[in-house]
Chains A and B, each alone.
Chain A
Amino acid sequence: MTSTTIQSDVTHHYLRPKKKFPNVWCAGCGNGIVMGALIRAIDKLGWDKDNVAVVSGIGCSSRMPVYLDFNTLHTTHGRALAFATGVKIAKPHMKVIVITGDGDALAIGGNHFIHACRRNIDITAILIDNKIYGMTGGQFAPTTPGGSYATTAPYGNYEKQFDVVKLAIGAGASYVARGTVYHSSQLEKLIIGGLQKKGFAIVDAFSNCHTYYGRMNREGDAVAMIKWFKTHAMPIEAARKLPPEKLKDKFITGLIHETDATEFCDEYQALVDRLAGKEAGR
């Protein structure tokens, strides 16, 4: 048996048997690579499928949970983290994963994003960051680089961008990492790290939308765009040793920030225990 067949066996074990494939994604889309990395990560951790909830919002990336054989909640645009917060608090022993996109998490869902970071609730969010609204046909997102073209930026984007990593660190997330769909095994490791982290973890996964972003900005097809990640990614370990001018056209990947802080559900349980102790002591 070759390693590829082993891999597809693993993947199929976590896909919904009754769900009709193919999926809604364009050929060459990076979403499938992220889904594969997530499946392998969960498989390596040996988690019980019944104990995993995958929650998403709206967009191309947010279609992922529908295909996955877990407890899955495909919610409204931008609100995945708020729904997931309810699931996690209701059943703290469950592993709660959020799949979101850059528009979903940072534009319409920006408020929930910063507050999930602030609460440090034990949820792992995987943000598939393709710099564009794909499902609605290529409008600019809060991550679309300045000067880039989009269907609502026909003369080039003149807005500023969010840096997901800085935003998450500033808002209080415990684990902040960035990967790409080219570096799929690194992405898998980063997801494993996020899933294991007690507290709010965010993995910013750079992905390609060749259908809209690539075409409108002459960045080529899926292969060309994914290769761009290869040539422009700079691992954090290497970046720390380099002067800023050498990092000019690079983006940083790897585990960028990790800290230990008290987690929301633990704090709540501590309160419940404290009140129970008080009652008993009376």
Chain B
Amino acid sequence: MTRKGNVKLLQGNEACVEGALYAGAQFFAGYPITPSTEIAEGMSREMPKRGGKFIQMEDEIGSIAAVIGASNAGCKSMTATSGPGFSLMQENIGYAYMTETPCVIINVQRGGPSTGLPTKIAQSDVMQARWGTHGDYTAITLAPSSARECFSETVRAFNIAERFRTPVTVLGDEVLGHMREIMTIPEPGELDVFDRIKPDVPHEWYRHFEITPSYVSPMASFGDGYRYNVSGLTHDQDGFPTAVASEIKEKLDKLRLKIERYIDEIASFRTEMMDDAHVAVISYGTVARAAYQAVRMARDRRIKVGAIQPFTIWPLHEVKLREMLANCRKVIVAELNMGQLVHEIRRVAPRNTEVFELNRYDGEVMTPLQILDKIREVL
């Protein structure tokens, strides 16, 4: 076999670093935490070599704060953490939603609650990624399942963050983060890289949170000459605190609509053997790999089953998912938690589709045989 291009043997965490560099990351702030630390280590090595910025902060609260500060100063910014750190970041992640500050947060999940299982796998932060910070907002969360996808989903996370002026969470997991796989690094230009839209109006006309037809506001950086105000207080289009009912509603609607209206652009799925399937297995992250194997094994036994892997788990594309499930009588949602995304699947599944859960939460991976057994059980 001849290998072309830039082929590397990479851990998922290392692939996230490569993806961030490809996307043009210029700033990383983080705090050591297993099993995500290799991302911080990689960025500490690469950022100063490329004129980017790296800082190890005093905690995760400070890390995400520095990321938001740097993003407002114009840098493509990111952090990486795991469950406990993700919990600590939540207040400031809410600040990033409210202030519409682009940033990428990679959460390499481990078992919880609390300190939990630092070196073992789980997918138990799915709901936290959606609802972790207080208040109403619309969250975007991506879930890769291989080193290749760690790379591409990190690039996509930056693109979405910059495009829609919002934080984007990438949910990895311990096994994905540490497993080594061969992958080809895409050539420059092979994947799209998006930079935030800058204002082209004079200083006096600029409104940092302007409600545009797309609901996404162009974003000036500190030092660009626009001198705007940013506040976590509910604010008007100029960024000044408001208590006017119509302005409050307008702001919250903006946070939702700028994402919901572009769901076709944000949502991404992979499906396998769904054309004639009566049973679907829905899974994401590492579990999706076992699901594909299980589906192939079931097909060998002439069971009409297919697999659906959402890469964008928040927001879940209801309409598309309903279409995919139109001919499925049964759906199995396989997750490494006590049942999180399954609630959303239940909400959006067609009325006559039965939804089953397959959960594992003992720190071990889901095996293809477990999924195959479940398929046979629900038939």
A: residues with CB less than 8 A from B are 16, 18-20, 49-51, 53, 55, 65-66, 69-76, 79, 82-91, 93-94, 111-112, 115, 268, 271-272, 275, 279
A86 touches B240 (CB 8 A): no
Also in contact, A66 and B240, with CB within 8 A (given A75-B65, A89-B66, A90-B53): yes
Chain B residues in 8 Å Cβ range of A49? 227
Say which size band chain B's interface belongs to: 35 or more
- Is B12 interfacial (CB 8 A cutoff)? no
Chain A residues in 8 Å Cβ range of B229? 16, 65-66, 72, 74
- Is B107 interfacial (CB 8 A cutoff)? no
Closest to B27 in A: A90
Q: Top 6 closest A-B pairs, CB basis?
A: A86-B69, A86-B66, A82-B65, A90-B73, A82-B62, A86-B70
Closest to A86 in B: B69
Tell me the B44-100 residues at the A interface (CB within 8 Å). Answer: 48-49, 51, 53, 55, 57-59, 61-63, 65-75, 77, 91-92, 95
Closest to A70 in B: B227
Chain A residues in 8 Å Cβ range of B238? 18
Q: Give A76 to B221 CA distance when docked, in angstroms.
A: 20
Chain A facing B: main interface SS: helix
B95 touches A75 (CB 8 A): yes
Closest to A115 in B: B58
Also in contact, A50 and B223, with CB within 8 A (given A73-B230, A86-B73, A268-B48): yes
Q: Which of B69, B92, B233 touches A87 (beta carbons < 8 Å)? A: B69
Q: Give A70 to B239 CA distance when docked, in angstroms.
A: 13
- Is B339 interfacial (CB 8 A cutoff)? no
Closest to A94 in B: B223
Q: Give A154 to B20 CA distance when docked, in angstroms.
A: 53
Q: Give A83 to B77 CA distance when docked, in angstroms.
A: 13
Closest to A17 in B: B204
Q: List, sorted by A's number, 24 A–B pairs whose CB atoms are closer than 8 Å.
A: A18-B238, A51-B223, A71-B227, A71-B228, A72-B230, A73-B69, A73-B230, A74-B232, A79-B61, A82-B69, A84-B69, A85-B55, A85-B62, A86-B27, A86-B71, A86-B72, A86-B73, A87-B72, A89-B53, A91-B223, A111-B58, A115-B58, A268-B53, A272-B48
B242-257 to A contact mask, C-beta < 8 Å, 1/0: 0000000000000000
Q: Give A67 to B95 CA distance when docked, in angstroms.
A: 20
- Is B186 interfacial (CB 8 A cutoff)? no
B: residues with CB less than 8 A from A are 26-27, 29, 48-49, 51, 53, 55, 57-59, 61-63, 65-75, 77, 91-92, 95, 221-233, 238, 240-241
Q: A18-B240, A89-B70 are in contact. List 18 more A-B contacts (CB 8 A).
A: A50-B225, A50-B227, A55-B69, A66-B240, A70-B227, A76-B65, A79-B62, A85-B55, A85-B57, A85-B66, A86-B29, A87-B222, A90-B70, A90-B74, A112-B58, A272-B48, A275-B48, A275-B49
B223 touches A71 (CB 8 A): yes
Q: Give A82 to B63 CA distance when docked, in angstroms.
A: 7
Q: Give A72 to B223 CA distance when docked, in angstroms.
A: 11
> Nearest-CB distance from B347 to chain A (Å)?
32
A271 touches B65 (CB 8 A): no
Of residues B65, B70, B71, which shows the largest number of chain A Cβ atoms within 10 Å of its Cβ? B65
Chain B residues in 8 Å Cβ range of A84? 69
> Nearest-CB distance from A119 to chain B (Å)?
9
Closest to B221 in A: A91
Closest to A121 in B: B55
Q: Give A279 to B50 CA distance when docked, in angstroms.
A: 11
Chain A residues in 8 Å Cβ range of B48? 268, 271-272, 275
Chain B residues in 8 Å Cβ range of A93? 223
Chain B residues in 8 Å Cβ range of A55? 69
Q: Give A40 to B68 CA distance when docked, in angstroms.
A: 29
B61 touches A82 (CB 8 A): yes
Q: Give A178 to B123 CA distance when docked, in angstroms.
A: 51
Q: Give A6 to B303 CA distance when docked, in angstroms.
A: 86
Closest to A270 in B: B48
Q: Give A78 to B66 CA distance when docked, in angstroms.
A: 13
Closest to A119 in B: B55
Chain B residues in 8 Å Cβ range of A66? 229, 231, 240-241
> Nearest-CB distance from A121 to chain B (Å)?
9
> Nearest-CB distance from A236 to chain B (Å)?
30
Chain A residues in 8 Å Cβ range of B29? 86
> Nearest-CB distance from A77 to chain B (Å)?
8
Q: Give A86 to B70 CA distance when docked, in angstroms.
A: 4
Also in contact, A79 and B92, with CB within 8 A (given A19-B240, A70-B227, A85-B69): yes
B73 touches A115 (CB 8 A): no
